[in-house]
A and B are shown apart, each in its own frame.
Chain A
Amino acid sequence: MSANAIEITPKLVAEHGLKPDEYQRILDLIGRVPTLTELGIFSAMWNEHCSYKSSKKWLRTLPTTGPRVICGPGENAGVVDIGDGQAIIFKMESHNHPSYIEPYQGAATGVGGILRDVFTMGARPIAAMNALRFGAPEHPRTRHVVAGVVAGVGGYGNSFGVPTIGGEVNFDESYNGNCLVNAFAAGLADTDKIFYSEAKGVGLPIVYLGSKTGRDGIHGATMASAEFDQDTEEKRPTVQIGDPFSEKLLLEACLELMATGAVIAIQDMGAAGLTCSAVEMGAKGGLGVELNLDMVPCRETGMTAYEMMLSESQERMLMVLDPAKEKEAEAVFRKWHLDFAVVGKTTDDLRFRIFRHGELMADLPIKELGDQAPEYDRPWIATPKAATTTAADFAAPNSVSDTLVKIIGLPDMASRRWVWEQYDSLIQGNTAIGPGGDAAVIRIGDGPKALAFTLDVSPRYCFADPEEGGKQAVAECWRNLTAVGAEPLAITDNLNFGNPEKPEIMGQFVGCIKGIGAACTALDFPVVSGNVSLYNETNGKGILPTPAIGAVGLLPDIAVRTTIGFKAEGETIVVLGETKGHLGQSIYARDILGRRAADAPPPVDLVVERHNGDFVRTEIRSGAFTAVHDASDGGLLVALAEMAMAGGIGCSVEALSDIPLHAWAFGEDQARYVVTLPAKAADALIDRAAEANVPAFVIGTTGGAELTLKGATPISLGTLKETHEAWFPTYMAGPDLLDA
């Protein structure tokens, strides 16, 4: 056996992404030089993507428990109790590097991976979302990446049959060479039928299910743990190829198999495939694992143990089955035309042994593979405190109205219809609020319960002040859920940063975690799952810190929900929460004034956030409001324009404030909601708000076909809509600059 006897040189070690001290740790751990297969296994388990070696220390500081949390981070996905014996299981995960190298397949397999994480635990997926971040629109690769990623997300999710109901799409030059594709999925299960990865019982069969193993994706996780350089194109073979059809079969087969009671433990093969899944099952259960690779269904001939252990072929599962039900289990998989093979067994000696052609190719301590991974307390430098500003620091525009029209047509602010219409948002027939609102709402079964879903983060805030930015991302998710009438339950986080070996980048990471932790604690909004993606750098330049937050909320009665569109003429418009006109890091400052100063983002007062939100939710649930929208990116006037466009009804509003008009219109103060209600009910609302100590301001009335702000030129709804809808399709119709 020559391949395994290859000499382990420092160069080979380096090619596996292992540092000299990490290699020394391996030598110390096993007391000899590893075989090639073993080196591959270590590189798969100890890379940043799988081991969280730079982030673990900080992730531990996040609040992960709560009365509704059934399972927090550490399993395939987080599990939250939604009452009546039901649970929502959800997670978000990045597929950034592969999506930049090969946009369609990278995004598609990102969606596939996260769906698998959810149904591995026994849940049928009911919702998907995506947080997508691309380079500057004018960058030659951006259009190509957008087109491929959106088609890939749709291609996989549509075929699989899950409604894709929301997300984010943003552009910034920091993502020019490193797009972000963060895929979220949520599934529904009964609380007494949740499946975990912990293996139990010695001598039980380990079964391989799903698609065959090929040579695709070898070293995918290692690739995802390194920066990009000029040789990115050469990494295309590390990207996996997705097959949503197989995944759909795998879903149905797994759920059918789980119902038979045959499944003792289950783990999907995601990053680092067979290696990671087998080690996790064994290590969690305190058991050894022995695999005979000759039994693994292969797509190609002549695959070595090394290749098979590192393959990231998609749509595969590993299970520990009750031997008494093995035949029954096999019949289910044959019915769905999927591979089923007993590839190994659990043992009592805590070793991870791999056989190929009768030869022992790897023999490693299973616990240490996972538990003894290096862990770093990386040095970090706190981001310098950003300067506070006042409205006077930001020049007023010549025309507030023209500026509004410009803002709603900006790449970051224009309608995302071009994107979401490529996603099936209606399948399963439970979509009550689809894409385009504050949060999407999906009915549970035949109701009356429903769940709300949202994704959010403002990377420019996080760059200026990581801690406030981290807080804001969580607070905005909480606010989005509140705005549809939901009780916020829990979040999943997808932490995308640059190279953690740079103290400034590590400082961004630490700051964001602190902010996220503070907000989660203050809002009783625990983190139940998540993913860290580091080394998002190209040629030494990092992305904006982007801790994307995905959040889930519960509506006890789907009939009581609110949407953003104005519903009728002559209704009163009220702003709840205080408008101070904070323009630092606003869209107005960045995109209209072109200001790049290190201004402080809007501060987040978590006590006020919670106070105002709880008031709004109570009012929604008593049926007080006809429309609700949170005021965030772009400010109050943008929120009003979005409400007018969504409802097809205009409005007349007046600032009635001492602050400059442009600061009132475009300031991005937090903890604010714009609501409408019948005129005759307005006085009572103002009284209730005063009593609850929630600032409330009547700013105008709905009606007409124009948006009219006193002191500014009226804007027709037609102009607003046209501008808002035009940017994306116009941009995407442009030439593919890669061909130029």
Chain B
Amino acid sequence: MKSAVIVFPGSNRERDMLSALEKITGQKPLAVWHAETELPKVDLVVLPGGFSYGDYLRTGAIAARAPIMADVKRKAEAGVHIMGVCNGFQMLCEAGLLPGILMRNNNLKFVCRHVKLETVNAKTAFTNQFKQGEVWRCPVAHGDGNYFTDADTLARLEGDNRVVFRYAEGTNPNGSLNDIAGIINSQGNVMGLMPHPENEIEDLNGGTEGRALFESLLEAVA
């Protein structure tokens, strides 16, 4: 699987993502600077975690208007797999590629801890190596992970099975609506999530459950 990770000014988990992709896919991913206007031909484009532009406006809002994002939108329409993690999820929402918004955590504090995630939809390109309803451990590290959207959109997301991951066992760290941790677009090729599966891939991390997400993509694009 060929993959690319976009680097924005203020991205800071791009190295974690690059390393995870290389370790799991066996292929070195490309790092693409935000000021580029065209993405290389790849199977997966990742918008990594961090504090793009310092998160000084709304999280992800400035990055969503970076030069490279026009091509991200084109690739999304063309069916290329796009994944946004944490700040990347916030960008996808700000760019209109996913519905809703990530607000400040409900206790107004940054939170870094391991939570439990339930794979609500194991039939997507990002989740086919999880079991339906499987509960797994994954770290979060964010100040703005409180997913919110209007009632109609929420009903549509739930009805169409587009909530992919939910915080489980009472571990919702941010107050997000319906315990939403990750959602997917209606075409099934653009997914965003707040937790960091790239930091749960080897024994050193205390667990390897995050690998399944990358292995799912390997399966889907093979």
Contacts and interface: CB of A to CB of B under 8 A. Distances in A.
A and B bind: yes
Given A426-B112, A427-B13, 5 more contacts: A245-B53, A336-B9, A422-B110, A429-B198, A431-B204
Interface of B: 9-10, 12-13, 15-16, 19-20, 50-51, 53-56, 109-113, 139, 141, 143, 196, 198-199, 201, 204-205
Nearest to A450: B204
Given A249-B9, A430-B204, A425 B50 contact: no
B9 A158 contact: no
A443 B204 contact: yes
A426 B53 CA distance: 21
A120 B13 CA distance: 22
A118 to B, nearest CB: 16
A713 interface: no
A245 B198 contact: no
Contacts of B204: 429-432, 443, 447, 558
Rank and list the top 3 A-B pairs by shortest CB-CB distance, nearest first: A161-B12, A245-B54, A159-B51
B15 A158 contact: no
A159 B54 contact: yes
Contacts of A424: 110, 112, 141
A421 interface: yes
The bracket for how many chain A residues form the interface is 20 to 34
B10 A427 contact: no
B140 to A, nearest CB: 9
A337 B9 contact: yes
Contacts of B113: 421
Contacts of B10: 159, 245, 248-249
A147 to B, nearest CB: 9
Contacts of A426: 112, 139, 141, 196, 199, 205
Given A245-B56, A429-B198, A558-B204, A421 B111 contact: yes
Contacts of A248: 9-10, 12, 51
B54 A243 contact: yes
A122 interface: no
A248 B204 CA distance: 26
A429 B110 contact: no
B112 A429 contact: no
Given A160-B12, A422-B110, A425-B112, A244 B19 contact: no
7 contacts: A161-B50, A420-B112, A423-B112, A427-B141, A429-B16, A429-B20, A429-B199
Contacts of B201: 429
Interface in A138-188: 151, 154-155, 158-161
Interface in A429-479: 429-432, 443, 447
Nearest to A245: B54
A558 B109 CA distance: 32
Contacts of B12: 159-161, 248, 427
B201 to A, nearest CB: 8
A428 interface: yes
B53 to A, nearest CB: 7
Contact of B112 (A151, A336, A421): A421
Contact of B9 (A244, A245, A427): A245
B51 to A, nearest CB: 4
Contacts of B20: 429
Contacts of B143: 158
A521 B82 CA distance: 56
A329 B110 CA distance: 36
Nearest to A246: B54
B54 to A, nearest CB: 3
A159 B2 CA distance: 29
B173 to A, nearest CB: 9
Contacts of B112: 158, 420-426
Contact of B54 (A244, A423, A429): A244
A267 B133 CA distance: 54
Interface string A218-254: 0000000000000000000000000111101100000
Nearest to A249: B9
B80 to A, nearest CB: 25
A161 B12 CA distance: 5
Interface string A288-303: 0000000000000000
B208 to A, nearest CB: 12
A400 B177 CA distance: 47
Contact of B141 (A151, A155, A158, A243): A158
A420 B53 CA distance: 25
B51 A244 contact: yes
Contacts of A423: 110, 112
Residue from the set B50, B198, B201 with the largest chain A CB neighbour count within 10 Å: B50
Interface in A365-412: none
A200 to B, nearest CB: 32
Contacts of A249: 9-10
A20 B12 CA distance: 50
A429 B16 CA distance: 6
A243 B53 CA distance: 11
A154 B196 CA distance: 18
Given A245-B9, A248-B10, A422 B109 contact: yes
Residue from the set A160, A248, A249, A429 with the largest chain B CB neighbour count within 10 Å: A429
A110 to B, nearest CB: 17
A420 B141 CA distance: 12
A432 to B, nearest CB: 5
Contacts of A159: 10, 12, 51, 54-55
Contacts of A430: 204
